[in-house]
Chains A and B, each alone.
Chain A
Amino acid sequence: DIVMTQSPLFLPVTPGEPASISCRSTQSLLHSNGNNYLDWYLQKPGQSPQVLIYLGSKRASGVPDRFSGTGSGTDFTLKISRVEPEDVGVYYCMQALQTPRSFGGGTKLEIK
């Protein structure tokens, strides 16, 4: 099974400042079709997870362009260019290359 590891665990950020979350997989998530099967989800307090990024770098519908995903293979990063108060919650990466799908342990973003 593919194991997903995120860092940091906690991320206190001042509004307007950038933020970055790292996600690493134990196997490459690059498919022969050229896509990296890596998603990013945000779970806001009291809500279900929502997709932010799919295929490593593609923003889901309605996601603000301050969110971006980069990386390939086993190393991926979610970046928020300027954090806003509504970005608080727990961010998860998930590999979608193999079953069983697997999630990272989560990164809790808090506002300073």
Chain B
Amino acid sequence: QVRLQESGPGLVKPSETLSLICNVSGDSVTSDYWSWVRQSPAKGLEWIGYMTHSGVTKLNPSLKSRLTISLDTSKNQVSLKLTSVSAADTAVYFCARVRWSGWYSRNHYYYGMDVWGQGTTVTVSS
């Protein structure tokens, strides 16, 4: 059974860097795509970005200048770093597996974001 578990600081001060980890069990981060989504009352569900198993990232342009998504294959983790946070970054952050072959695979498949973590709440406040 595939499980995703987000972890992070909970509270971050404005202008500081938010770092989150998604621990993956039951699957390898070297397969599939790995996504981050956040949810706030103001913006609803907001797609943050994804990283492919081959290390390609696609990031939301609204966050791109502050955002890094990376894989740690030795720990089987996906990480998110968001710099210069403000109150607008207060949200529940989810990681999710995207079962997708990509556009150019000979054997195309897509099953959506089929496994989600339970989410971790991040509050930006001094």
Which residues from chain A sit less than 8 Å from chain B, CB to CB?
A: 33, 35, 37, 39, 41, 47-51, 53-55, 60-61, 92, 94, 96, 99-103, 105-106
Contacts and interface: CB of A to CB of B under 8 A. Distances in A.
Contacts of B49: 99-100
Contacts of A49: 37, 45, 94, 113, 116
B116 A50 contact: yes
For this complex, into which size category does the number of interface residues on chain B fall? 20 to 34
A55 B94 CA distance: 22
A48 B110 contact: no
24 contacts: A39-B112, A39-B113, A41-B113, A48-B119, A49-B37, A49-B45, A49-B94, A51-B111, A51-B113, A51-B114, A53-B112, A60-B111, A60-B114, A61-B114, A92-B45, A96-B110, A99-B49, A99-B58, A99-B60, A100-B47, A100-B61, A101-B47, A103-B46, A106-B45
Contacts of A54: 110-112
A38 B53 CA distance: 22
Given A37-B110, A55-B110, A103 B44 contact: yes
A54, A92, A106 interface centre (most CB from chain B within 10 Å):
A54
Q: Top 3 A-B pairs ranked by shortest CB distance?
A: A54-B112, A101-B47, A48-B116
A51 B61 CA distance: 25
A22 to B, nearest CB: 17
* Overall SS of chain A's interface: loop
Interface of B: 37, 44-47, 49, 58-62, 94, 108, 110-114, 116-119
Contacts of B58: 99
A35 B112 CA distance: 13
Nearest to A105: B44
Contacts of B47: 94, 99-103
Contact of B94 (A35, A48, A96): A48
A48 B116 CA distance: 7
Given A48-B117, A49-B94, A103 B45 contact: yes
Contacts of B61: 100
Nearest to B108: A33
Contacts of A96: 110, 112
Contacts of B60: 99-100
